[in-house]
Amino acid sequence: MIKKILLSLALGLSMTLFTAQAQDFNNGQWVDLTHAFDENAIYWPTADSFKKTTVFEGETGGGYFYSAYNFSAAEHGGTHLDSPVHFSKGQMTADQVPIEQLIGKAVVIDISKQAQKDRNYQLSVADIKRFEKTHGKIANGSILLINTGSSKFYGNKKKYMGTTKRGQEGVKNLSFPGIHPDAAQFIVDKRNIKAIGLDTPSLDYGKSTPFKSHIILFGHNIPGFENVANLDQLPATGATVIALPMKIKGGSGGPLRIVAFVAHK
């Protein structure tokens, strides 16, 4: 009898803890962090842009409406995933990133004021420590998002990425904020995050050529999210992020649908 009572209490406690930890998606607001894929989607100057063509659209001979389209694009453009293999040989490909690594509590560091003054600004270790002084240490298993204030420029290539030019000439003229390699190294050495993302075309700032932040983060199998939208609509902590990319076998990245849920207090 005593064993049964203890077992019942243990099960009750487990259920209570499970219920307390479960996310109530009925009491809050969803925020879409994904830019639409269309002719205005931002792609790297050397990459193939998004193209959509019509297969059929209209009334069929059978008397019903039907529509179908084809699309093509580079892996890396619009709101997308960078899988670790993108800059680190032997690391996870797009289809290998575990789902649990793409879902988690968001931590949003706002550097929009700095980036407004300097479009080549890079998230620093000091920025991270300043954030933590106010909001506490970045929790283990967080998805770290960097708000540079760039999302409002999306669609305007000149303002968003510094140039409208294509090819290598466009690459030379890129200008946008990113993550400093020292900050990337601090994150992998001192913090334990699932993934990292920001509202620009690259984790490294526009003028980077060695792409050290990519290499550091991806060398530790931390995937990246780029061209993320609406980060200014998220609180510094507490939102739940769900980031599900196209599952391209062996892919170095792919289109990403990323959303966040902000619970009502």
CA distance 109 to 213: 17
Are residues 244 and 256 in contact, defined by beta-carbon separation less than 8 angstroms?
yes
Would you state the pLDDT for residue 212? 98
Summarised one tens digit per residue, pLDDT across range 100-130 is 999 999 999 999 999 999 999 999 999 999 9
Classify residue 194: in a domain, yes or no: yes
Residue 233 in this model has a pLDDT that exceeds 80: yes
Range in 3-12, 17-26, 172-181, 252-261 with the lowest mean pLDDT: 3-12
The pLDDT value given to residue 22: 64
CATH number at residue 217: 3.50.30.50
User: What's the domain count of the chain?
Assistant: 1
Q: Which 8-state DSSP code applies to residue 249?
A: T
Burial 203-232 (b: 16+ CB within 10 A, else e): bbbbebeebbbbbbbbbbbbbbbbbbbbbe
Say what the pLDDT of residue 20 is: 39
SS3 73: coil
32 within some domain: yes
Specify the long-range contacts of residues 87-92, CB closer than 8 Å, at least 24 apart.
87/211, 87/214, 87/215, 87/218, 87/219, 88/215, 88/218, 88/219, 88/221, 91/218, 91/219, 91/221, 92/221, 92/223
| 12 vs 114: CA distance, rounded Å | 50
Residue 182 in any domain: the answer is yes
Instruction: State residue 86 phi and psi, 5-degree precision.
Output: -55, -35
Q: Is the pLDDT of residue 84 over 70?
A: yes
SS3 151: helix
Q: Residue 222 falls within a domain, yes or no?
A: yes
Quick check: is 221 in a domain?
yes
Encoded amino acid at 27, one letter: N
The one-character DSSP state at 241 is E
- Reported as a single tens digit per residue, the pLDDT across 4-14 is 444 444 444 44
What percent of the chain is modeled with pLDDT above 70? 92
| % pLDDT > 90, the chain | 90
Q: What mean pLDDT do residues 22-38 have?
A: 92
Within-domain flag for 5? no
CB contact set of 182 (below 8 Å; sequence gap of 6+): 124, 125
At residue 161, the pLDDT reads 98
**For 49-58, what is the mean pLDDT?**
98
Task: Please say if the pLDDT value at position 19 is more than 50.
Answer: no
pLDDT tens per residue across span 125-160: 999 999 999 999 999 999 999 999 999 999 999 999
The residues facing 43 across adjacent strands are 77
69 domain-assigned: no
Specify if 168 maps to a domain. yes
Domain holding 224, by residue range, is 24-43+75-263
Residue 185, burial from CB neighbour count under 10 angstroms (0-12, 13-18, 19+):
middle
- State how far the alpha carbon of 214 is from the alpha carbons of 52, 81, 100, in Å: 30, 12, 21
Cα–Cα distance measured from residue 122 to residue 145, given in angstroms and rounded to the nearest whole number: 14
Residue 220 or residue 23, greater confidence = 220
Amino acid at residue number 100: E
Question: Which DSSP string do the residues of 183-239 spell out, in sequence order?
Answer: HHHHHHHH--EEEEEESSS-SS-TT-SS-HHHHHHHTTT--EEES---GGGS-SEEE
Cα(106)–Cα(102) distance, integer angstroms:
11
